[in-house]
Chains A and B, each alone.
Chain A
Amino acid sequence: MLDLILQTCVNALYASSYTALMAVGLVLIFGVMGIINFAHGELLMVGAYVVFFLYATFGWPFPLAVAGSIVIVALIGVLMERALFKPMRGNPLGGLIMSVGALFILQVATVDIAGLGLAKNIPPAYDGSVALFGIETLTLPRQRLIVMVAATAGLVLLWLFLTRTKLGWALRACAQDPEAAALQGISLDRTALIAMVIGAAFAGGAGALLAPIVQVTPYMGHAYVVTAFIVIIVGGVGSLEGAVVASVIFTFFDTFVTTFIDGSTAAILGLLLMLVVLVVKPTGLFGSAEKA
């Protein structure tokens, strides 16, 4: 039983890593720009497709393909911010509708470029599994280990950026109070662009890292963005710390229920968890009243 519990913890930590990457990007975009980016799952999908082309089709080394993926999706983020979200600044509903439009555009563009039909299978870049802590029965596939390490590194770098750099402080100031930040001379345009680039890059990176582990289709983003939305609601909309903590809580909850009861029940109870949090603490675990 102990083996099973430990393995479940490892499975949950893995799921936490990419979920946090997605959720933090969403929160950053919402916090700074005030936009709920429904196309965030599609940014993940594009990241996975870029890896499909660069790594699986053209034979680039996997790390290089992931880097390429992050750059391309970040550029898409720039395009989305400048063309869709900037004109809608101060109009959250308009931004939301724009993001839904972007969702469809990205899906259709992917279908046009990559084709319809069967899912893309991408061979793992790193074969086999590693035994953790010297316990032979406690294993993690190398490809998943890469996801965990890269996601953790990304989150730590983001934390350092937000807490140790002027630009990071500016981002946090805009997220807390855009008007006060503007009065201090912080450019909202610039911080919005940076937030979008970071958010998109995180989503693209998550998709790129996951590509060899999941089935890549133009519609794959949906499941991930739904989970990310649940997480940011539980964590408190607008709270980066909340997004990370809620990612861990939610994925541990989901993974344990899946392992010890079943997957269908986990899906239902996951939503129930969100509802309970909303009833007990409507602002989420780390959210403030102003952000709710």
Chain B
Amino acid sequence: MSKIRKGMKRRQFLGTAASAAAFTAPYVKRGHAAETVRIGFNAPVTGDVAAWGLPGLYGCEIWAEKLNAAGGINVGGTTYNVELVSYDNEYLSDKALTGAKQLVLEDGVKIVLQLGGTDALATAEFMTKNKMLSSTLVPSDLSPETTYLVAPCEVHPLYNSTGVEWLARNKPELKTVAMVTQDDTIGRPSVALYRAAFEVTGMELVHDSFFDLATTDFAPIMTAMLASKPDVLCFDTAYPDFINLLNEQAFLQGYEGTIISCTLDNYPVIMEKTSAAFLEGHIFQFPDFDDQALNQPQINFKNANDFYAEYTARYPGSWNAVSWEYAAILELWKTAAEKAGSVEPDPVLEAMKAGGKGDHAFGPASWWGEELFGINNALVGAWPVVQMQNGKATIVEYGDIPTWWEKAKDATIKHFEELGEMWYQRT
């Protein structure tokens, strides 16, 4: 029930798909675009975590459509059209593994995109055994055994350090933080990182607790946070629905201070439930792609403003943290495949990591991670710090993760170890 072949079933795509076909047809006739390379998308499209899957699938569809309309991808003299094959894993381990098997063994995909956390951890062994290149948005999934798993876009939770650094530098009067964390494979590495980042900057954690994924009422959680009278509220990395409800509770309980979190997905909806004044100054890590700071020369996600315009026109209200990320990974994959002269996972992976450097969406970066993940499979460089300004997400600077790591390495490893999140502590 979960498998959807994109571009074929979605009603709202019919019109655009027909147009794309019309554009593509001449290329097929003129060139050698008879070949098709399949790309697997194994992420939650429904269920509680759909907000970090479905918007990413939309982005991939736009990417694939544009690529095919432009004539496909030329690899070793052969032109390929890209076909996206998606499997809705609902963010459940068993479904993620089923999806991986179907995509790899039956559909013959050449790369599998995953959200990370539950799904990537469930499929890691299978991917390695089958030598299938796969990606995660959660580098803490990486370990020395996951040789075919890469984190070439999102370097969660490392980039959260850039927001904390910016806050400490620009608002030195803020000294105390109350933090809550969702208790799962995404929240726990993130809280370890935030603890390290606050420690390094000298900010004191006056409240630090976990909440269960089945939580439906955030009033008691917010009451406890506010009782510690913090200068800053930190919502860590939490599912969009949780971030929404936490913000609403902070607003309803009269909080007027600074908030920092990994994401602020669909903030217009949050603003509707709170106010623009309440969200003003909120720090997070994911920009809207109409931001002019994305036109700087070092940015490798080309035509970000156009991508955003098309995305928001096609899927109003769906833009969030992951809308561009899976597409950014596909762009890296395409460049690597062209460089390798092959679409097969091994040569593509080799080309992707050649020289230890890579073109991350936000600029030049290095393949990194051995100290924290046991393997250099995360592409780490700069990451934007985003602040709500006049009701709009605005990039205030690009923070440098490797520089931060040099001063926070010991604290980070200490906090990862305390929570059993280092790769050698996982069972």
Interface residues of A (CB under 8 A from B): 3-4, 7-8, 11-12, 14-15, 111, 116-119, 121, 123-124, 129, 139, 141, 144, 213-215, 217-220, 222-224, 226, 255, 258-267
Residues of B within 8 Å of A262, CB to CB, are: 209-211
Determine if A119 and B51 form an interchain contact, defined as CB atoms under 8 angstroms apart.
yes
List B residues 201-235 near A (Cβ within 8 Å): 209-212, 214-217, 219-221, 223-224, 227
Q: Are A121 and B244 in contact (CB under 8 A)?
A: yes
Q: Which of A11, A223, A261 contacts B223 (CB 8 A)?
A: A11
B273 interface residue (CB < 8 Å to A): yes
Stretch among B40-48, B121-129, B278-286 lining the A interface = B40-48
Contacts of B269 in A (CB 8 A): 121
Q: State how many angstroms separate the Cβ of A24 from the closest Cβ of chain B.
A: 18
| A267: B residues at CB distance < 8 A | 212, 214
In the complex, the answer to whether A264 meets B224 with C-beta atoms within 8 Å is no
- Contacting residues, chain A, for B411 (C-beta < 8 A): none
The 4 tightest CB contacts between A and B, nearest first, are A263-B211, A262-B209, A267-B212, A215-B241
Q: Give the distance in Å from the alpha carbon of A261 to the alpha carbon of B224 in the complex.
A: 9
* Interface pair B46/A116, CB less than 8 Å apart: yes
- Which of chain A's residues have a CB closer than 8 A to the CB of B47? 217, 219
Q: Are A259 and B51 in contact (CB under 8 A)?
A: no
Please measure, in the bound complex, the distance between the C-alpha atom of A123 and the C-alpha atom of B180, giving whole angstroms: 25
**Distance in Å from the Cβ of B317 to the closest Cβ of chain A?**
8
The reply to whether the CB of B254 lies closer than 8 angstroms to some CB of chain A is yes
Could you jot down 11 A-B contacts, CB within 8 Å? A8-B223, A11-B223, A111-B46, A118-B266, A224-B216, A226-B214, A259-B223, A259-B227, A263-B183, A263-B215, A263-B221
B19 within 8 A of A: no
Smallest CB–CB gap between A178 and chain B, Å?
34
CB distance from B167 to the nearest CB of A (A): 24
Contacting residues, chain A, for B46 (C-beta < 8 A): 111, 116-117, 218
Residues of B within 8 A of A222 (CB): 214
Q: Is the CB–CB distance between B45 and A117 below 8 Å?
A: yes
In angstroms, Cα B253 to Cα A173, docked, is 46
Bound complex: CA A264 to CA B224 (Å): 14
| Smallest beta-carbon distance A203→chain B, Å | 15
Closest A residue to B50 by CB, please name it.
A117
Interface centre among A3, A4, A121, A223 (most CB of B within 10 A): A121
| B252 beta carbon closer than 8 Å to chain A | yes
Residues of B within 8 A of A144 (CB): 219
Chain A residue at minimal CB-CB distance from B209: A262
With A129-B252, A263-B210 already in contact, the answer to whether A118 and B245 are too (CB < 8 A) is no
State in angstroms the CA–CA spacing of A113 and B212 once bound together: 30
How far, in angstroms, from A134 to B238 measured CA to CA in the complex? 35
CA distance A4 to B272 in the complex (A): 28
Q: Is B276 an interface residue (CB 8 A)?
A: no
Q: Which residue of B lies closest to A143 (CB)?
A: B252
Which A-chain residue is minimally distant from B214 (CB atoms)?
A223
- Complex CA distance for A111 and B45, rounded to whole angstroms: 12
Chain A residue at smallest Cβ distance from B46: A116
Give the CA-CA distance A4 to B214 in the complex, in Å: 24
Q: Given the complex of chains A and B, what is the CA–CA distance between A218 and B220 in angstroms?
A: 25
